[in-house]
Chains A and B, each alone.
Chain A
């Protein structure tokens, strides 16, 4: 019993679901639902069909290269059953899933951060150009200048005093 991957949308095909098509060159295509099957028959490229995982990975919208993704891989040599190995594998699997999920969501967050970056620059520009709508350009400058003059006078006084 295996959960296969749909050729078109890369979704899971549970046993008892979907369709399998075998071409004359012996290549096997599995589909999870008739939507994917019909799209395939229309010769649509999954890498260009926006709702598929293949598109998302090919256009960099989702995490593609990561070592947490290397754990789940179809190995063609069967391993003899060993209780402790299976137990450890299940534990590790859970952890890896956790990490994978976090990393994937982080990747997407980072991607959306670009938008935040743009917003940031826009805000800075806005502030630079139109700060006069809220604050006068030399607000507080009078006070500043006064303070400065006072300081200077104080210094002069000091210097005179020193002399």
Chain B
């Protein structure tokens, strides 16, 4: 269906442009570098390529033009006729024919020259041949200047034609110029056709779309037709005639009751009768327009008779006024109904109906009881239906309000809000609070609150205090011991004498009660130590006096009653630890033993490779000495 391809036709370039484009393309897209000293087949190939490339380009573009433009035989007769009216069929065909011829000529030129190039024996010769070929092709194109111009104009006009679907439901408006056809279409559809008091304001066909009974309808506005024979009609009128002739639509013949269009009713009736043959098989309606100025009842008897005749012939005559919109809806509904009826009829008579009818089955449920069960139609649908059929007044739009109020008008969309409380409509709604979205908290059941408790711990404080004191005392002790200057050998504590005063002070600081004599005598360390010291000294003196064969002291002497355990048992809690200690000792000694060291203080480095044994010539000796 060539309906919408009219907009997709590629631009037709002028001949000069065409030549320029093709030649520059050849220059850009083919290799440009060639030298005399190349091999001849290479030179030939180079130039042949250029010729063929140019030919290819011309051929492609021209073929595209030829396929893009619609063939008058292939498209709908309405469009074919329309194009004939507008662009003259012969001229159109001629132009396309010329293009075709040009294409063939270019092909031939290219073929010839490529053949000739096979015998070119030098760069110069080949180059001249190429020049000749391209020149000839370009001359051919230059001659097509007129055709190309004409085709470009046709293309531009064609793409601006209104897209009229010849097969769908259409209402066609016809009549004298200035009777009110364009006003009618403006009222009924969203089209905005120019309406002016002079004749032939509408110079071509215009399409508008409207909806009725949930279907899309086309309304076609035509330029006015004057009453003269077909041969004398100009292009503008011919368009109207074409539309009338080819579109299968309902025809609305518009008449001007007030005769403001400049033609009497009689003349209008004449015209009507003349184009009557065009209305064959089409639902017909006569629209008596401009009834706000003059009504049919106000007409003369003769004129009234005209309308009476028409009505008698079963052609509905409806009075309208496109100014007051009176009767416009009625016309619309009448025309649409009639057309629908006609279309349904024709479909029923056709062959395809049976396929559809076979598949349709309207089921009527059997009545259960006597209770009436009418179909339920909601109120809104009923109202909607009414507005479709009757000329009901539309509700007041914001635009109307704006027009009324002029400068005072303020667009307030909040007044249409549907809230539970109508007086809250103009509230300013809070959205954000302290970084939170209020909308996130909205929940109709949001009334809950919770309390917390705090726990305190006092016991711990005491323990913490003591620990702090301990740490401090420790640090002090460390500092004091570091400060002590130790001259001479370190004597054990048992030998040292402890003054009573210092003892009292220390023990007092630690909380012991030093006041009682008993306490001092029993628990003082000095007396304890002193006694033991005396004891140890007395034992050895005794031994010296007796000079007897003394038994070797098997057990530890009392001098050692302070129980200084031997080194490998001191600080060791249990046999497991003792074992571990021994292991550590052995592992430390391992390394030393391996290296043959006497002890950990042995740092002697053996000279395993003394120079005098490894260097020099061995004259007459051994390696032990050279």
Q: Which residues of A contact B (CB under 8 A)?
A: 1-3, 12, 68, 71-75, 78-83, 85-86, 88-90, 92-97, 99, 102-103, 106, 116, 119-120, 122-124, 126-127, 130-136, 138-140, 142-143
Contact = CB atoms under 8 A, between A and B. Distances in A.
Chain B interface size range = 35 or more
B452 A127 contact: no
Contact of A71 (B441, B510, B512): B441
B459 to A, nearest CB: 10
Given A103-B452, A139-B510, A139-B511, A127 B463 contact: yes
Nearest to B427: A83
A127 B463 CA distance: 8
B588 to A, nearest CB: 30
B460 interface: yes
A72 B440 contact: yes
Interface in B59-95: none
B474 interface: yes
B419 interface: yes
Nearest to B435: A12
A127 B434 CA distance: 50
Contacts of B420: 80, 82
Contact of A142 (B424, B437, B513): B513
Contacts of A92: 441, 446-447
B29 interface: no
Given A80-B418, A86-B429, A92-B441, 9 more contacts: A1-B431, A2-B439, A72-B441, A89-B438, A90-B433, A92-B446, A93-B436, A123-B466, A136-B507
Contact of B434 (A68, A74, A97, A99): A97
Interface in B322-356: none
- Closest A-B pairs by Cβ, 10 of them: A139-B511, A123-B467, A136-B510, A133-B473, A126-B467, A139-B512, A136-B512, A135-B511, A92-B446, A72-B440
B381 interface: no
Given A12-B435, A102-B452, A106-B452, A120 B460 contact: yes
Contacts, number: 130
B470 to A, nearest CB: 5
A138 B436 contact: no
Given A2-B431, A142-B519, A82 B421 contact: yes
Nearest to B518: A142
A127 B470 CA distance: 7
Contacts of A142: 512-513, 516, 519, 523
Most buried by A among B434, B436, B467: B467
B510 A135 contact: yes
Contacts of B460: 116, 120
Contacts of B519: 142
B443 interface: yes
B442 interface: yes
Contacts of B429: 81, 86
B449 interface: yes
Given A81-B427, A81-B429, A142-B523, A124 B463 contact: yes
Interface in B458-493: 460, 463-464, 466-467, 469-471, 473-474, 477
A47 B467 CA distance: 40
Contacts of A2: 431-432, 437, 439
Contact of A85 (B434, B444, B464): B444
Given A88-B446, A142-B513, A143-B513, A127 B439 contact: no
Contacts of B544: none
B439 A82 contact: no
Contacts of A68: 450
B277 interface: no
Nearest to B516: A142
A71 B442 CA distance: 9
B424 A81 contact: yes
Contact of A90 (B430, B450, B477, B523): B430
B434 to A, nearest CB: 7
Contacts of A80: 418-420
A138 B523 CA distance: 10
Contacts of B466: 123, 127, 131, 134
B442 A79 contact: yes
Contacts of A103: 452
A71 B467 CA distance: 46
A27 to B, nearest CB: 21
Given A3-B432, A82-B421, A74 B512 contact: no
15 contacts: A2-B439, A3-B435, A3-B436, A75-B439, A75-B440, A82-B421, A83-B421, A85-B442, A88-B447, A90-B433, A93-B433, A106-B452, A131-B470, A135-B510, A142-B513
Contact of B512 (A86, A119, A131, A138): A138
A136 B446 CA distance: 64
Most buried by A among B419, B440, B444: B440
A131 B469 CA distance: 9
A82 B446 CA distance: 14
Contacts of B427: 81, 83
A106 B454 CA distance: 9
A142 B515 CA distance: 11
A121 to B, nearest CB: 10
A18 B449 CA distance: 35
Nearest to A66: B450
Given A2-B431, A12-B435, A89-B438, A130 B513 contact: no
A101 to B, nearest CB: 11
Interface in B491-544: 507, 510-513, 516, 519, 523
Nearest to A121: B463
A14 to B, nearest CB: 8
A1 B433 contact: no
Contacts of A135: 510-511
B470 A130 contact: yes
Contacts of A81: 417, 419, 424, 427, 429
Nearest to A106: B452
A140 B431 contact: no
A135 to B, nearest CB: 5
Contacts of B446: 71, 88-89, 92
A67 to B, nearest CB: 8
Contacts of B510: 132, 134-136, 139
A159 B449 CA distance: 68
A133 B430 CA distance: 68
A103 B451 CA distance: 10
Contact of A127 (B436, B467, B512): B467
Nearest to B523: A142
Contacts of B513: 139-140, 142-143
Nearest to B463: A123
Nearest to A4: B437
A97 B433 CA distance: 11
B80 to A, nearest CB: 50
Contacts of B437: 2-3
Given A12-B435, A97-B434, A127-B467, A89 B441 contact: yes
A133 B477 contact: yes
Contacts of B470: 126-127, 130-131, 133-134
